Every structure is written in C-alpha cells, then in structure tokens.
Amino acid sequence: MTAIRQLRLGRMSLPESHPRAAERICEICCYVIDHPDGLIVVDTGPRAGHPLIDKLYAPEVTPVTNALAASGFDERNVAAVINTHLHFDHCGQNHLLGHAPVWVTEAELQVSTTERYTVPEWAHIEPSRLRLAADGELIAAGVQLLHTPGHSPGHLSVAVQTEWGLEIVVGQACYSCAEFEAATTVASDMHGPSWHSVGLDSMAHLRSLNPTRAHFSHDAQEFGA
C-alpha cells in the first residue's frame, strides 16, 4: 500500500530581509512516497557550501541520501524526484539522486533562470532527467501532479491515494498547516503582489479535494495527522 513519509532535511536561519524573519528558523522537510513501483521523493532540500546561501541562511543540512537511509529506504530504489519548485531550498540535492528523472513544470523552468530567483547550478536539470509536469498528470498509479502557482509561477503539489485516503503534499503552496486549515495564504509568501489571488485559488483547489492529510515543506505539523 502506498504511504507518505516525512523526512527532515535540516533547518535554516531567516535573514532580516526575509518576509518571515520574525520566525527566525525555517524547517526543511521533504517527502517520500513509498509506492509499489518505487520511491518518489518530493523535493531534496538545499546543499551546504554555497558562500552566499551559507552567509544569508546558515543552513544545517542533512543529505537526502542519509535521511532516506535513516528511515529505512534505499536510495537506489528512488524511481523519481518531484520538485515542487526550484527555489534553492527545494532542489539543492537533486544531484544526489542522479539516476532518477525529475518532474517539474515548464513555467518553473522558465522562471528559474531569472536573476536572484535561485541558485542556477542547483536548479539545472539535465535534459536526460527532465520530465515536464502536466496539470493533473498521473506519474504512477494514484500519484497525481497538480499545478498550484502562487508562491512560485510553476509550483507543483502532489495528490496521492494512500492507505489513509487522499493525501496531498502541498509543498509551499501555503507555508503552514495553520494557513491550510484557514484556507489562506500570506501575500508576502507569494511570488509577487499580483500572485496572491492566484495562490488563494490554488489553496482553494487543494482544499476542495478534501484530503485526509496534507504535508508542508516548512512546517513539520501535518494536517489531519
């Protein structure tokens, strides 16, 4: 039976320029969909060793391969990676799972090349690994990709049929479990002011699916758990 497991990939400090600087610390979570056809990893977290990222965010990084092993998973069984989006803290360790194809939206690929959006070398996906995600696409039985723009222009969420019913890996379509429960998003967490209404629409769509559980990139608390 398909199941979703949360992996903690570390945390980072939020600089004063960050919209959520008052929270000081940002948790970094990724998710493993334990599927009969193989493991699907949703987001891979940041890397250590980038001068600017280390200076601004001082990330404490757990390698995704270590996190997988600690949870009893063999990295060789990873059949696919899904990047909810290509900000540096979501795609930085794609290279550690280099045998697996990576699913991402075309809109996200396009925006990832713009100045100060991400770390370009982390966001780059080799053509042989690249899979463009269509809205509503099933990439495995019971695993559906959903376009949920707002936080980024090409954000993805993932709907998964599990032993608990329908679960959603929200990613950063909203920042926290509390926001999901309240059916809202924070304007400052969107790609820009004009994206807030888009983000609210994405959140309304995810909630309309009535998931039994929902999982978030930067909040270890899980809706419905």
pLDDT at 187: 96
Check residue 20 and give left, alpha or beta (phi > 0: left; psi -120 to 50: alpha). alpha
**What integer pLDDT is reported at residue 8 of this predicted model?**
97
3-state SS, one letter per residue, for the chain:
CCEEEEEEEEEEECCCCCCCHHHCEEEEEEEEEEECCEEEEECCCCCCCCHHHHHHHCCEECCHHHHHHHCCCCHHHEEEEECCCCCHHHHCCHHHHCCCCEEECHHHHHHCCCCCCCCHHHHCCCCCCEEECCCCCEEECCEEEEECCCCCCCCEEEEEEECCEEEEEEECCCCCHHHHHHCCCCHHHCCCHHHHHHHHHHHHHHHHCCCCEEEECCCCCCECC
Q: Report how far residue 47's alpha carbon sits from residue 88's, in angstroms, rounded to the nearest whole number.
A: 8
Task: Give me the tens of pLDDT residue by residue for the chain, a chain 225 residues long.
Answer: 899 999 999 999 999 999 999 999 999 999 999 999 999 999 999 999 999 999 999 999 999 999 999 999 999 999 999 999 999 999 999 999 999 999 999 999 999 999 999 999 999 999 999 999 999 999 999 999 999 999 999 999 999 999 999 999 999 999 999 999 999 999 999 999 999 999 999 999 999 999 999 999 999 999 997
pLDDT at 225: 75
Both structure tokens of 176: 């926290």
- Tokens standing for 184? 């809202």
Domains contained in the chain, CATH given: 3-216 (3.60.15.10)
pLDDT of residue 194: 97
* Euclidean distance between CA atoms 45 and 21, whole angstroms: 19
**The pLDDT of residue 114:** 97
* Report field, pTM of the whole predicted structure over 0.95: yes
State the pLDDT at residue 78.
98
